[in-house]
Amino acid sequence: MTTPSPTPAGPDPHPGFGPDLARRCYREMLTARRIDEEAIALQRQGVFPAYVSLRGQEAAQVAGAAALDAERDFAFPTYREMGVALALGVDMVGYMASHRALWHGGLYDPMASRFSSLNAVVGGPVPHAVGWAVGERLRGGTGCAMAYFGDGASSEGDIHEAMNFAAVYRAPVVFFCQNNRWALSVPNERQVAGGSVAARAQGYGMPGTAVDGNDAAAVHRATAQALERARAGQGPSLIEALTYRVEPHSTSDDTSRYRDAEEERAWRDRDPLTLLRARMEADGSGDAAFFEQAEQEARKRAEAVRDGVSTAPEPDGTDLFAHVFREPTEELARQQRVWYEEVRP
């Protein structure tokens, strides 16, 4: 059984994580939690065919994304980075459209939000992030790429090739692994040789940092430092945010078949929202009135997202063919003709 590490005692190790940033992260983490709850309910009601929860990973996503510069950086997500999307100001109805299977990749503007299309290929966003980062460097820009992946994806060849390429070309990219302890039903110890994703960075000549992924301040500091290093031309870094996937891998998964209930309870006690709230209450950056207002705002926004995605119109079926190739192939044209004859009313 994997058990959570204790929170370090003593002086605040992250003095740069001030009251304003703490309040922003708490609001966005709480909003992500409430949207996540609404999304699970929508799947149970048959509105979403499936859904992947981020519960327990809000600090890793929101606090890390808070270090990004939304004017010049670019995030490359998997299918679970809803908290990152929220932190970057992505239209959440457009984001959730993918979970309702209205659109592959999301009905939002990636260029405006600096948040790439959702990528369900395991490890898929990482080579894309490196390619963008190399291009940014070649054009003389100062933006950085954030490449998201999980502990399971860290075993994919795409990840290793991307890290090596990024290190050779000193690409301004941060490899951000959310190690939530489970690659679907496979625990870390059975699929991560050596037990550490961060330790692999040394083999590519880049720094690797393991950080408490449930500690918003720790995540933000590690991410800010990695971005500063990349922006200074010193190349890529790897961050391993050690967290936990509280909910099943997806709504079609059953954790009782492979996980210990005691382990789940232990990690629920280290809920990132609870930890951040305790920190804010201790240092005076949040009082009862703040937390009550944050709860009301989060619920209101989550309900608006729920209602918006539930009532969003289905796209025209011709979109299946309009966004595949710049110059349609004969086979695609044939499929379109069949669709017109057999499917289109």
Report residue 69 as tokens.
């510069």
User: Per DSSP, which regions of the chain are E strands?
Assistant: 74-76, 145-150, 173-179, 182-183, 186-187, 208-212, 237-242
Measured distance CA(322)–CA(333) in Å, rounded: 10
Task: Give the angle 305-306-310 at the CA atoms, nearest 5°.
Answer: 115
Name the catalytic one among 44, 72, 258, 344.
258
Q: Please give the C-alpha separations between residue 219 and each of 70, 133, 234, in angstroms, as whole numbers.
A: 18, 22, 20
Q: Is 204 a catalytic residue?
A: no
340's enclosing H/E stretch is helix 330-342
Measured distance CA(63)–CA(186) in Å, rounded: 27
Residue 210 buriedness (CB in 10 A; 0-12 / 13-18 / 19+): middle
Q: Is the alpha carbon torsion for 98, 101, 107, 111 positive or negative?
A: positive
Q: Is 44 a catalytic residue?
A: no
Name the catalytic one among 128, 181, 249, 306.
249
Q: What one-character-per-residue DSSP string does 103-135 give? A: SSS-SS-HHHHTBPPP--STTTHHHHHHHHHHH
Name the catalytic one among 221, 245, 270, 279.
245
Q: Is 160 a catalytic residue?
A: no
Q: Which of 49, 151, 142 is nearest to 101 (CA)?
A: 49
Which residue's entry shows tokens 């740069």? Answer: 16
Tell me the one-letter amino acid at 139.
R
- Is 245 in contact with 181 (CB distance < 8 Å)? yes
- Is 291 in contact with 313 (CB distance < 8 Å)? no
- Is 136 in contact with 166 (CB distance < 8 Å)? no
Measured distance CA(30)–CA(32) in Å, rounded: 5
DSSP 11: S
Catalytic residue ranges: 245, 249, 258
